[in-house]
Amino acid sequence: MKDTQLDKIEYYLARMTRAMESNAGIGYARMPDWGDATAWLWQAHNMSLRPVPQTDSLPIDLLVGIDSQAKTLLDNTLQFAKGYAANNALLWGARGTGKSSLVKSIHNKLDDDPSLPLHMIEIYREDMSSLPYLLSILRQEKAVRFILYCDDLSFDEYDSSYKTLKAVLDGGIEGRPDNVIIYATSNRRHLLPRNMMENERSTAIHKSEGVEEKVSLSDRFGLWLGFYNVDQDNYLKMIHNYANHYDLKVNDKEALEWATTRGNRSGRVAYQFIQHVAGQQQKTL
């Protein structure tokens, strides 16, 4: 089926959905009480925001091996929180390397400053088509600034919802509100699978133009921050950093064996080892 036909089907389905929501009394997104929390989860099924009283975040000082990425993203976020210009950011790279942890840790760090009215809202990838509804709320709250966060963002071959995000990032008639910044994490630098882009190239009249629309989605993030698996020294530094913070006794040999059984050395693997050690030493994290 051609893209134009799919677009028409998507358009009419969206119209039908809005009509059914209107009849059911759902309507457009509802305004929450921003005093309930500074972290929120977007619930697309009823167009509402659920407060998250406590986020699953680590102190930023515990994130080892990503100093450059942390400084860049923290500076960008601080600029935004103070009302200055800042870029949307795409954090991409190997799994478990601290992408989502960094976003949550930065929000947690800045949340301690009452002079910065900064909220974080998580939206699931599968709810991206409802993004305009969410922005209709946030656009009205000019005194509050929002990090719109999407973890593990990627699109498969038959998913056209990336067009919604693309229009919001840059190019749409309404675009992104000034009080909203978008941070996304992904294992893919270009957010789409290689076979999808190659298929576009093979069927295009001008092959270089066949993938331009797909690749240009990631281009619309002003910051690209790459994350990679760490070497042995940094892995052990992570282990010792966690151990000191949580007052645990660790063995380097056991830590290395733990990483070997999982096939890589990363921040996630290090933290999982620490959880294992904490349980053995009858402690909580």
The CA-atom distances, in angstroms, between 11 and each of 14, 23, 129 are: 5, 19, 11
Q: CA 171 → CA 174, 175, 217, distances in Å?
A: 8, 7, 11
The whole-angstrom separation of Cα 180 and Cα 155 is: 22
Give CA–CA dist 190/154, Å, rounded: 8
Q: What does the pLDDT read at residue 187?
A: 84
**Cα–Cα distance between 284 and 238 in angstroms, integer?**
18
Separation CA 228–CA 242 (nearest Å): 19
In a domain, 20, yes or no: no
- Residue labelled with tokens 């929000």: 107
The residue among 206, 227, 248 that closes a domain is 227
Q: What are 62-72's pLDDT values in tens digits? A: 998 899 999 99
Chain centroid, CA 276 distance in Å: 27
What pLDDT, in 10s, does the model give residues 167-178?
787 756 667 899
**Rg of the chain's alpha carbons, rounded to an integer?**
21
- If asked whether residues 164 and 241 sit together in one domain, one would say no
What is the predicted pLDDT for the residue at 128? 87
Q: Within this chain, do residues 166 and 33 fall inside the same structural domain, yes or no?
A: yes
Mean local confidence (pLDDT), 148-161: 79
Same domain, 141 and 274: no
Letter string b/e over residues 66-100, b meaning 16 or more CB atoms within 10 A of that residue's CB: beebbeebbebbbebbeeeebbbbbbbbbebbbbb
Indicate whether 222 and 236 sit together in one domain.
Answer: no
Q: Which two tokens stand for residue 187?
A: 């294992």
Residues in the chain: 285
> 40 lies in which domain range?
29-227
Q: Which residues contact 187 (CB under 8 A, 6 or more apart)?
A: 92, 93, 94, 95, 152, 154
- Render pLDDT for 182-203 as a digit per residue (tens, 0 to 9): 999 998 777 765 554 445 444 4
Q: Three-class SS string for 64-80?
A: CCCHHHHHHHHHHHHHH
> How many distinct structural domains can be found in the chain?
2
| pLDDT tens-place string over residues 15-37 | 555 444 444 434 445 678 888 99
pLDDT of residue 188: 76
Residue 271 shares a structural domain with residue 204: no
Residue 260 within a domain: yes
Q: What is the pLDDT of residues 202-222, one digit of tens each?
A: 444 444 444 555 556 777 889
* CATH code for position 107: 3.40.50.300
Where residue 188 falls (left for φ over 0; alpha for ψ -120 to 50; beta otherwise) is beta
